[in-house]
Amino acid sequence: MLNLKSLRLLILCLVSIGCSSQEIEFNEIKRPHEILKTSELNTYLQIVRGLSEQTLPPLPPLFAPLPNWDVQRELSVKGLAKEQQKAQENRWFTDAVLGKLASDRRLRNLLQKHKITLQQFLGLTESINLAAARTHFEEISELIAMRRTGQFEINELLKREDVFSNLSEEEQYEILRQAAWLTRVSRASELLRVPEENTQLLKKHWDVLKPCLHPDALCDPLEDIVDNLKHYGLPFEESPGSGFDSKLRWSPANSGALIGHATEKQLAAQDAPHR
């Protein structure tokens, strides 16, 4: 049998365990593939609007940039590609980003007020802004096609064992052009992870959310990574006998030639039907 002293000690332990369990906070971090709630949008808005500029604090780009490998890199193309893929992961949760945001006293106070951690705020911010970026695509077919095509290009890139610095300038250019698929596939994959429900929720509250969104979420995330050569084709080549631009001559008497920035009157005259 337990004596009185042992019984008191047991009760004290049970009470302590109960109290400690109540103090544990829910610290799960929101991920872009999870469904957003209206209450989470409200929390996000209240925090951002509570900051001094009423905009997001300085954050890394929403999407990874294009590869820009130094010509002197003494690593294989395969190694550089894998390095690029790794660099695209968890860019917002680095010690540098967390340390800089943790020094923002106003942000710390707002997070404490709303009872969320800095990591939770970053997760929520990333989820909301990726959903905002996803609103630029009515259909996901373009994203699916880009990811499928890009994966083939990446697989070919990962077969290259040659050292990048040993390649010619033309070969390095072509490799970097092909390596852009790493970024395209990364962005397409991130956007495809966003639930349709999140996209619709962002559209519904767009006017309210827009001033508080990351700048990268306000434009087409694929716009700056278009393969111009594939999209527009090769520039035309002047064939023999067709003449050359360098031989074009202009005379001040020719009123049809517009030099520099044309005025609205000149443009109207050009568009007017000839009588």
pLDDT digits (tens, 9 = 90+) for 34-82: 999 999 999 999 999 999 889 999 999 999 899 999 999 999 999 999 9
* Structural domains of the chain, count: 1
DSSP 213: S
Q: What is the pLDDT of residue 52?
A: 85
Which sign, positive or negative, has the C-alpha torsion 19, 22, 27, 33? positive
Contact 124, 44 (CB under 8 A): yes
Determine, yes or no, domain membership for 141: yes
The whole model's pTM is what? 0.72
Among 10-24, 52-66, 204-218, 257-271, the minimum mean pLDDT is found in 10-24
Alpha-carbon distances of 89 from 11, 84, 133, 179, 241, rounded to whole Å:
48, 9, 18, 16, 55
Determine, yes or no, domain membership for 67: yes
Q: What is the pLDDT of residue 184?
A: 95
Determine, yes or no, domain membership for 191: yes
Residue 60 to residue 214: CA distance in whole angstroms = 10
In which domain, by residue range, is 169 found? 27-221
Write down how long the chain is: 275
Burial of 273 by CB count in 10 Å (0-12 exposed, 13-18 middle, 19+ buried)?
exposed
Residue 49 to residue 57: CA distance in whole angstroms = 11
Query: Predicted confidence band at 234 (pLDDT cuts at 50, 70, 90)?
Result: very low
Determine, yes or no, domain membership for 267: no
Determine, yes or no, domain membership for 236: no
DSSP for 54-92 reads SSPPP---SSPPPP---TT--SBHHHHHHHHHHHTSSGG
pLDDT digits (tens, 9 = 90+) for 144-158: 999 999 999 999 999
Asked whether residue 14 carries a pLDDT value surpassing 50, the answer given is no
Q: What is the pLDDT of residue 83?
A: 95
pLDDT digits (tens, 9 = 90+) for 161-214: 999 999 999 999 999 999 999 999 999 999 999 999 999 999 999 999 999 999
Q: What is the pLDDT of residue 130?
A: 97
HSE-up (13 A, CA, CB side) for residue 134: 26
Determine, yes or no, domain membership for 4: no
Residue 63 to residue 61: CA distance in whole angstroms = 5
Determine, yes or no, domain membership for 89: yes
Determine, yes or no, domain membership for 238: no
Which sign, positive or negative, has the C-alpha torsion 154, 160, 162, 168? negative
- What's the chain's average pLDDT? 82
